[in-house]
Amino acid sequence: MRKFAVFDIDGTLIRWQLYHAMTDALAKEGHVDEALYQSTKDARMVWKRRAHSESFKAYEKKLIKSYEAVLKGITPGQLEKVTQQVFGEYKDQVYVYSRELIKQLKKNHYVLLAISGSQIEIVQKIADYYGFDDCVGTVYQQRAGKFTGEKTVASADKAEVLGELIKRHGLIRQGSIAVGDSASDISMLAMVEQPIAMNPEKALYERAKKSGWKIVLERKNVVYELEKKSGKYQLVKTG
């Protein structure tokens, strides 16, 4: 019976959004319709200007829609080429806190899990690179060498997925750790003994405060670790 740690990938380990990186790479290869790509970039600028509180969510939806439109016109082989390019560029663009935590957990013989909403093709490569024992990502179905347009988003319920992984690997929750940055990670964080809200979005931040979860902020070259003590959050460590 082994302890485990589970990580989100986008914004928790990798510093950027993998759907964004993949769509940009597909555009560079000439696979994205110009008008479609421009509308995606427009949505990105709305988010960068922080035009409204839901601008990132709107951009993310547009991004995924654009990516899925492209899949219908390319082969798995073409996607693999782009995936390898993105992996090569982004595999080391990670948060120092998460990278060092992973190293320490491996020394302590934790089973490392990754549950991500990003494409399994790129999630698998990153998970292998950092020595994760198992990972889950969005699967786009294929038939006869083409993408069908159907997908399985296992991360839609991260608590359910984590429960299945715990059973599969015979893991114990004692000493368990989870790291996430968004509202979709809340159910996963609630299942472990040591939840960590990493650069949390507002919904996760509010839940973390309510539940007294550890909050970690990494900005530029400084990591701030905040823990709740006597009803108030205190800075317990910087590095």
Residues 60 and 70 in one domain: yes
Residues 85 and 112 in one domain: no
pLDDT at 176 over 90: yes
Residues 126 and 79 in one domain: no
Mean pLDDT in residue range 56-85: 93
Range of the domain at 79: 17-92
Total of domains in the chain: 2
Percent of the chain with pLDDT over 70: 100
pLDDT at 26 over 90: yes
pTM: 0.93
Query: In this predicted model, what pLDDT tens digit does every residue of 211-237 receive, in sequence order?
Result: 999 999 999 999 999 999 988 999 998
SS3 content of the chain, % helix, strand, coil (to 5): 45, 25, 25
Q: How far apart are CA 91 and CA 237, in angstroms?
A: 27
CATH of the domain at 125: 3.40.50.1000
